[in-house]
């Protein structure tokens, strides 16, 4: 009998886009000049495609006049604002490489990124939440020799960066290739300093376009984007998916707020809403949820972390997002590799991350031998195709650790492919818990804990144990008014429903999980805290 291997390629009758981001934007604006391109809900500012391209071109010409051009690194350090999007497209027009700076960075991280990328120009907000960006820039500026100029938003110097009288023909003189690097995104490394994933026009324009294709976007769509622009979820799956289809980008607020996101959907009649699971949980749990008219919603994307089944069902039932899509990927793959389709069954959409995207390949390999495993067997997910990054900026050794000789990107994620090509993510290789010789995948237990009536959200980690090597610990967030939850009461709930070795030994109730800005739970930090909580000593 022939064994079917865990390999799939994305067949598509729609060809890849071969142009640059700027050329694609111009083509969209020529088709839909009067339609909304960008709406900033919190301020009421809005741009049609004609107005948006006009401002993008003026900023691009201003950057050229200021001496910045192809290959120069331009940093953007700001929460979600219209200016972020203008900078994204203006740098693409002139071939400058946009470097996304995480809004939560502190001084030492800012200094590292400015130097590692060799940023010549930094465009920055003045502040965000408790962060004083101006003071932090002042502190590091002398230590960053490549940094020639800093422009702060909401100051005259920002307005002065636009050249509204410049000759647009100058932009046509800039010779660009779709394979040029156009964006550096720093992955939030769990150990050491982050690495700069370097992405081309071809990488991110096509990924945004095909994500939008699978969401069935047209110029009629209006996409609410509360996820950060500094990450692929915001600037690629959000902005580029919109501008490649003539849809409207709707920014609800600078940082995520569940009420503001719901208000933006209602006010702007959004057809699509993005978020990581924790965002959707907060929206569904919002005390005024019933007061918002969400009837315009058709679709959306849940991604960034494993999506709990119960949350997905509520998003469909209570928010009316009948065509909501699950996406899976990573910064290094622009980011999406697999996605559920609008016509997939509910079961597929709540239990898998879909099938391989158009023009991409995925396979699941044995982490030890590197051989492709049969369908139904777990292994490491690898992906190949137009989406794979050019490499980590000026770190060829780190690049070689994750991209093999066949140009396969090794994700570090454990996955299983079913007979129909649907992929299920079972966890990170490093998150897998080995208890007494049994391999345990935390995702399975987390999904089960979501069925507990008092549990709002749950994360499971492994902690050291002298007898079994590792034991399970559940971190849980409880619903308002819920009774006290102990290890004993949780064990009682799990007994008879989970195998005995999958029942968490420890329970820790928290208000919030340690998270990255993109909404990914930091299990490394949870494990460190658990050692102190349980007095397990140093690692």
CB distance 165 to 60 below 8 Å:
no
Please give the pLDDT value at position 426. 83
Please give the pLDDT value at position 373. 97
Percent of the chain having pLDDT more than 70? 98
pLDDT, average across residues 318-340: 96
Angle at Cα 521 formed by Cα 366 and Cα 400, nearest 5°?
A: 40
Query: 210-236 pLDDT, tens per residue?
Result: 999 999 999 999 999 999 999 999 999
- d(CA 388, CA 300) in angstroms, rounded, equals 24
Query: 9-44 pLDDT, tens per residue?
Result: 999 999 999 999 999 999 999 999 999 999 999 999
- DSSP strand pairing (299-302 vs 325-329): parallel
Confidence of residue 350 (pLDDT cuts 50, 70, 90): confident
* Side-chain half-sphere exposure of 7, counting CA atoms within 13 A: 10
Confidence of residue 185 (pLDDT cuts 50, 70, 90): very high
Confidence of residue 518 (pLDDT cuts 50, 70, 90): low
Phi and psi, residue 181, nearest 5°: -65, 140
Angle at Cα 244 formed by Cα 102 and Cα 278, nearest 5°?
A: 40
190 has a pLDDT exceeding 50: no
Please give the pLDDT value at position 368. 79
Query: Of 116, 115, 123, 121, nearest to 145 (Cα)?
Result: 115
> Rounded to whole angstroms, what are the CA distances from 136 to 110, 132, 141, 142, 345?
8, 6, 9, 11, 49
310 has a pLDDT exceeding 90: no
Phi and psi, residue 21, nearest 5°: -60, -45
Angle at Cα 174 formed by Cα 170 and Cα 179, nearest 5°?
A: 155
CB distance 526 to 459 below 8 Å:
yes
Mean of all residue pLDDT scores within the chain:
94
Angle at Cα 51 formed by Cα 50 and Cα 57, nearest 5°?
A: 90
Query: 69-128 pLDDT, tens per residue?
Result: 999 999 999 999 999 999 999 999 999 999 999 898 889 889 999 999 999 999 999 999
Task: Give the range with max mean pLDDT: 191-195, 242-246, 470-474.
Answer: 242-246
- d(CA 428, CA 188) in angstroms, rounded, equals 15
CB distance 74 to 119 below 8 Å:
yes
Q: What is the DSSP letter of 254?
A: S
Please give the pLDDT value at position 191. 44
Those residues whose C-beta lies under 8 Å from the C-beta of residue 178, and which sit 6 or more positions away, are 17, 18, 19, 20, 200, 201, 202, 205
* Side-chain half-sphere exposure of 508, counting CA atoms within 13 A: 20
CA dihedral 101, 107, 109, 110 (to 10 degrees): 30
Please give the pLDDT value at position 517. 66
* Side-chain half-sphere exposure of 275, counting CA atoms within 13 A: 27
Query: 396-448 pLDDT, tens per residue?
Result: 999 999 999 999 999 999 999 999 999 998 878 878 787 877 778 788 899 88
- d(CA 440, CA 442) in angstroms, rounded, equals 6
151 has a pLDDT exceeding 70: yes
The per-residue b/e assignment along 310-333, b for 16 or more CB within 10 angstroms, e otherwise, is bbbebbbeebebebbbbbbbbbbb
192 has a pLDDT exceeding 60: no
Cis before 335 (ω within 30): yes
- d(CA 361, CA 36) in angstroms, rounded, equals 35
Query: 196-211 pLDDT, tens per residue?
Result: 999 999 999 999 999 9
pLDDT, average across residues 365-393: 95
Query: 47-69 pLDDT, tens per residue?
Result: 999 999 999 999 999 999 999 99
Confidence of residue 469 (pLDDT cuts 50, 70, 90): confident
Higher-confidence position of 262 and 496: 262
Those residues whose C-beta lies under 8 Å from the C-beta of residue 70, and which sit 6 or more positions away, are 94, 95, 96, 174, 175, 176, 180
pLDDT, average across residues 264-288: 95
End-to-end CA distance of the chain: 47
- d(CA 243, CA 27) in angstroms, rounded, equals 10
Please give the pLDDT value at position 304. 75
Those residues whose C-beta lies under 8 Å from the C-beta of residue 4, and which sit 6 or more positions away, are 374, 375, 419
Give the three-class secondary structure for 217.
coil
Please give the pLDDT value at position 466. 83
Which of the residue ranges 144-148, 355-359, 432-436, 475-479 would you say has the lowest mean pLDDT? 432-436
- d(CA 448, CA 457) in angstroms, rounded, equals 11
H, E, C per residue of 271-309? CEEEECHHHHHHHHCCCCHHHCCCCCCCEEEECCCCCCH
Please give the pLDDT value at position 538. 63
CB distance 357 to 10 below 8 Å:
yes
């Amino acid at each position: 009998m022939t064994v079917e291997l865990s390999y799939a390629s994305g067949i598509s009758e729609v060809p890849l886009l071969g142009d640059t981001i700027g050329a694609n934007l111009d083509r969209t604006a020529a088709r839909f000049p009067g339609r909304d391109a960008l709406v900033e809900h919190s301020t009421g500012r809005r741009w049609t495609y004609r107005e948006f391209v006009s401002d993008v071109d003026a900023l691009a010409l201003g950057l050229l006049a200021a001496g910045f051009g192809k290959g120069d690194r331009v940093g953007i350090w700001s929460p979600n604002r219209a200016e972020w999007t203008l900078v994204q497209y203006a740098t693409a027009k002139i071939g400058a490489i946009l470097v996304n700076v995480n809004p939560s960075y502190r001084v030492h991280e800012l200094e590292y990124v400015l130097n590692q990328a060799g940023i010549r120009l930094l465009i920055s907000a003045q502040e965000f939440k408790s962060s004083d960006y101006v003071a932090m820039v002042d502190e590091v500026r002398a230590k960053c020799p490549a940094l020639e100029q800093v422009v702060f938003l909401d100051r005259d110097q920002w307005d002065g960066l636009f050249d509204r009288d410049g000759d647009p023909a100058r932009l046509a003189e800039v010779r660009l290739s779709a394979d040029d690097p156009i964006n550096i995104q720093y992955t939030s490394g769990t150990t050491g300093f982050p690495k700069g994933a370097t992405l081309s026009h071809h990488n991110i324009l096509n990924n945004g376009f095909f994500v939008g294709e699978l969401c069935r976007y047209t110029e009629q769509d209006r996409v609410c984007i509360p996820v950060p622009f500094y990450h692929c979820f915001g600037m690629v799956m959000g902005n580029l998916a919109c501008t490649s289809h003539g849809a409207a980008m709707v920014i609800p607020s600078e940082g995520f707020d569940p009420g503001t996101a719901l208000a933006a959907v209602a006010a702007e009649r959004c057809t699509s809403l993005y978020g990581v699971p924790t965002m959707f949980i907060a929206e569904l749990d919002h005390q005024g949820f019933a007061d918002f008219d969400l009837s315009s919603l058709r679709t959306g994307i849940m991604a960034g972390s494993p999506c709990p089944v119960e949350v997905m069902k509520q998003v469909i039932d209570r928010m009316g997002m009948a065509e909501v899509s699950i996406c899976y990927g990573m910064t290094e793959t622009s980011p999406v590799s697999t996605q559920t389709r609008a016509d997939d069954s509910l079961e597929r959409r709540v239990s898998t991350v879909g099938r391989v995207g158009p023009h991409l390949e995925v396979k699941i390999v044995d982490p030890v031998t590197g051989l492709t495993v049969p369908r139904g067997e777990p292994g490491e997910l690898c992906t190949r195709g137009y989406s794979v990054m050019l490499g980590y900026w000026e770190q060829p050794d780190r690049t070689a650790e994750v991209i093999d000789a066949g140009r396969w990107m090794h994700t570090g994620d454990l996955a299983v492919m079913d007979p129909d090509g649907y992929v299920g993510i079972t966890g990170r290789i490093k998150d897998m818990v080995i208890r007494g010789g049994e391999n345990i995948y935390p995702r399975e237990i987390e999904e089960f804990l979501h069925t507990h009536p008092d549990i709002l959200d749950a994360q499971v980690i492994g902690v050291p144990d002298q007898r079994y090597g590792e034991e399970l610990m559940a971190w849980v967030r409880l619903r308002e008014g819920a009774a006290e939850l102990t290890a004993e009461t949780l064990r009682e709930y799990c007994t008879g429903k989970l195998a005995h070795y999958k029942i968490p030994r420890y329970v820790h109730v928290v208000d919030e999980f340690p998270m990255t800005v993109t909404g990914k739970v930091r299990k490394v930090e949870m494990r460190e805290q658990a050692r102190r909580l349980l007095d397990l000593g140093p690692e």
